[in-house]
């Protein structure tokens, strides 16, 4: 009897481990921030100024450059995030287009407003 319970529990754990990623859809702003820190900050710096070890070596874009960012079209920036640009890798397989869009509107554009 005890054995059976344990087996059942193990199946539930297994099932939970294989839940498809799409169940974790529509990330909150908090998740986006975590994703920025995880996937982007290594080159662009936490504040978008590229002042990271990798960012200083790369021709890392200063995302927080307000004047520059204001002149960029959303569609072009999204294109760069999803398909990569120069030394920047493509994020097509790591984020969906609507996530990239939220990253742009909720993380990147506000960053630029903070730094001069």
Binding region for ligand HEC (CB under 6 A) = 39-40, 42-44, 54, 58-61, 63, 76-77, 80-81, 85-89, 91, 103, 108
Nearer to ligand HEC, 8 or 38 (CB): 38
Which backbone phi and psi does 88 adopt, to 5 degrees?
Answer: -90, 130
How far apart (Å, rounded) are the C-alpha atoms in residues 38 and 16? 24
Which backbone phi and psi does 85 adopt, to 5 degrees?
Answer: -155, 130
As measured in angstroms, the least distance from the Cβ of 105 to ligand HEC is: 11
Tell me the residue number closest to ligand HEC, measured at CB: 86
How far apart (Å, rounded) are the C-alpha atoms in residues 56 and 83? 22
Nearer to ligand HEC, 12 or 89 (CB): 89
């Amino acid at each position: 009897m005890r054995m059976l319970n344990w087996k059942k529990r193990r199946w539930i754990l297994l099932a939970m481990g294989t839940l498809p990623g799409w169940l974790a859809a529509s990330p909150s702003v908090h998740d986006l921030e975590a994703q920025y820190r995880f996937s982007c900050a290594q080159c662009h710096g936490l504040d978008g100024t590229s002042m990271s070890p990798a960012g200083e070596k790369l021709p890392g874009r200063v995302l927080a450059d307000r004047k520059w960012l204001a002149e960029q079209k959303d569609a072009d920036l999204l294109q760069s995030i999803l398909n990569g640009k120069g030394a920047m890798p493509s994020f097509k397989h790591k984020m969906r287009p609507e996530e990239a869009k939220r990253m742009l509107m909720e993380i990147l554009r506000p960053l630029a407003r903070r730094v001069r």
